[in-house]
């Protein structure tokens, strides 16, 4: 059992059956055989003092070792599954306008790039987002955070990238900060001005890259609006060289690099991520064997987004099994956005990761918690249930991990605890 601190505990969750800690991997993401190391405690318990966990173990061990404050929140899990809160490391949650009208077009066989070329896709969302004011964007984003929280997410990355001019990109990131203020979900902001070439740039990608480098990145850094810089490195969007320039400028301004890479076709994105030692490369549906090996060698995480392939009716999914076999740590994310992955639920992503990526339920849980926390630079505080970490956990109406991954299409979360306090409870749940 993990040793408790001396202060009386303010939160006690006990009688978990089982408690899944995903513990023991503070220093590095879990790859290879460690990808499925979930740490199961039968009849488990977690105790916290304030926001931080002070004891983890069996219910008997924890109850013997802690003093419970008179006003503590004591939760009997009644034999239900308890997991760390999900960490969603790739979303585009700040936007105005939905794109359901594109859905029938995709059903008729139009590709994502076809719709983008006709002014739809990202460019349609850009137009709606530019029209919305900061307060409206913040309100919309906060409502989506509420949905994510109810499905078990307690940490979430949110990217800009639907502004595509300096004023609108800054507005998006300010709206993220505003939406996150006081919310139970811990939000990690990412600047992604290089998400697409706006129509106003006349399709001149080089000129737009100069704007991103010379104007947007310095403005974002000056206001400390983001922790990461991301770029859509893809044929028809930004080339490897253009992406390299944007990310190097971001690093110079204090923004850690991330990439959308090899989503629609192989194009050297994984290799660029390894070259720059990016925190993660995301999508990777068409990543090369050399790119996978290079990422593994350089400690770059693979963030996989099976919901996007599913929603775009793609035939090919990211080669997750080859990645695990190569020792490349895999994380999972929703890619929540209005066009290619309109969901805030990490539960459905867990299911898709098993059915389409062929991850085991244990591997998928590690990918959605600890490895995802590494993908946003937060693994020292979230992603597992360990002493010293933030008390973020979810009680599910499920007997075990396999059930959570297999039973899809309904929200199994009963109670969500964030920062040592209940943040959401299903109506009628004890």
Condensed to tens digits (0 to 9), the pLDDT of residues 171-189 reads: 999 999 999 999 999 999 9
Residue 202 pLDDT grade (very low, low, confident, very high; cuts 50, 70, 90): low
Query: What mean pLDDT comes out for the span 264-287?
Result: 96
Residue with tokens 């039968």: 42
pLDDT at 1: 54
Residue 117 pLDDT grade (very low, low, confident, very high; cuts 50, 70, 90): confident
**What value does the mean pLDDT of the chain take?**
94
DSSP assignment of 3-34 equals PP-SSPEEEEEEEESSEE---S-SSS---GGG
- How do the domains of the chain map onto residue ranges? 9-85+383-425, 86-375
Residue 3 pLDDT grade (very low, low, confident, very high; cuts 50, 70, 90): very low
Condensed to tens digits (0 to 9), the pLDDT of residues 307-349 reads: 999 998 999 999 999 999 999 999 999 999 998 899 999 999 9
- Residue closest to 56 by CA, chosen among 33, 82, 28, 31: 82
- Residue closest to 98 by CA, chosen among 389, 340, 387, 374: 340
- pLDDT value at 5 more than 60: no
Distance CA 168, CA 155 (A): 25
Other C-beta atoms closer than 10 Å to the C-beta of 380 total 13
In terms of Cβ atoms closer than 10 Å to its own Cβ (0-12, 13-18, 19+), residue 100 is exposed
Condensed to tens digits (0 to 9), the pLDDT of residues 19-76 reads: 999 997 557 899 999 999 999 999 999 999 999 999 999 999 999 999 999 999 999 9
Query: What mean pLDDT comes out for the span 377-402?
Result: 97
Helices (H), 4-158: 59-65, 102-107, 112-117, 122-131, 134-150
Query: What mean pLDDT comes out for the span 245-269?
Result: 96
Residue with tokens 């709606």: 128
pLDDT at 25: 57
Length of the chain: 430
Percent of the chain with pLDDT over 70: 97
Distance CA 316, CA 128 (A): 31
pLDDT at 106: 84
Query: What mean pLDDT comes out for the span 259-275?
Result: 95
Query: What mean pLDDT comes out for the span 352-374?
Result: 98
pLDDT at 102: 86
pLDDT at 299: 96
CATH of 86-375, one of 3.20.20.140, 3.40.50.720, 3.30.750.24, 3.90.1300.10: 3.20.20.140
pLDDT at 2: 47
CATH of 9-85+383-425, one of 3.30.300.180, 2.30.40.10, 1.10.10.10, 3.40.50.280: 2.30.40.10
pLDDT at 26: 58
Distance CA 89, CA 197 (A): 24
Distance CA 259, CA 282 (A): 6
């Amino acid at each position: 059992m993990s040793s408790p601190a001396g202060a009386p505990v303010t939160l006690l969750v006990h009688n978990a059956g089982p408690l899944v800690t995903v513990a023991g991997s503070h220093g590095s993401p879990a790859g290879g055989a460690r990808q499925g190391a979930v740490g199961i405690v039968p009849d488990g318990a977690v105790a916290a003092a304030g926001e931080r966990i002070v004891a983890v173990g069996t219910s008997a061990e924890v109850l013997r070792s802690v003093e419970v404050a008179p006003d503590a929140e004591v939760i009997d899990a009644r034999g239900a599954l308890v997991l760390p809160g999900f960490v969603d490391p790739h979303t585009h949650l700040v936007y105005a306008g939905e794109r359901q009208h594109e859905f029938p077009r995709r059903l008729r066989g139009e590709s994502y790039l076809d719709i983008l070329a006709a002014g739809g896709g990202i460019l349609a969302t850009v137009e709606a987002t530019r029209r919305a004011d900061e307060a409206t964007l913040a309100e919309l984003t906060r409502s989506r955070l509420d949905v994510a929280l109810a499905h078990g997410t307690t940490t979430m990355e949110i990217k800009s990238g639907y502004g595509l001019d300096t004023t609108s990109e800054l507005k998006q990131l300010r709206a993220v900060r505003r939406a996150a203020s006081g919310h139970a979900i811990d939000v990690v902001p990412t600047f992604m001005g290089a998400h697409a070439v706006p129509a106003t740039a006349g399709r001149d990608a080089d000129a737009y890259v100069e704007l991103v480098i010379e104007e947007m990145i310095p403005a974002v850094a000056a206001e400390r609006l983001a922790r990461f810089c991301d770029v859509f490195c893809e044929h028809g969007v930004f080339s490897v060289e253009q992406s390299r320039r944007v990310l190097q400028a971001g690093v110079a301004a204090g923004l850690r690099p991330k990439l959308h890479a090899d989503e629609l076709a192989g194009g050297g994105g994984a290799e660029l991520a390894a070259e720059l030692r990016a925190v993660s490369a995301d999508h990777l549906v068409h990543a090369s064997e050399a790119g996978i090996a290079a990422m593994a060698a350089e400690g770059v995480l693979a963030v996989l987004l099976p919901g996007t392939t599913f929603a775009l009716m793609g035939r090919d999914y990211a080669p997750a099994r080859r990645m695990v076999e190569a020792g490349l740590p895999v994380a999972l994310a929703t890619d929540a956005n209005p066009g290619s992955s309109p969901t805030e639920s990490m539960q459905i992503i867990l299911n898709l990761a098993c059915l389409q990526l062929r991850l085991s339920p244990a591997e998928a849980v590690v990918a959605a918690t600890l490895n995802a926390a590494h993908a946003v630079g937060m693994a020292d505080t979230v992603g597992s249930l360990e002493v010293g970490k933030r008390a973020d956990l979810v009680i599910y109406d499920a007997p075990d991990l396999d059930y959570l991954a297999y039973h899809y299409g309904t929200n199994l979360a009963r109670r969500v605890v964030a920062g040592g306090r209940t943040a959401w409870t299903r109506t009628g749940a004890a």
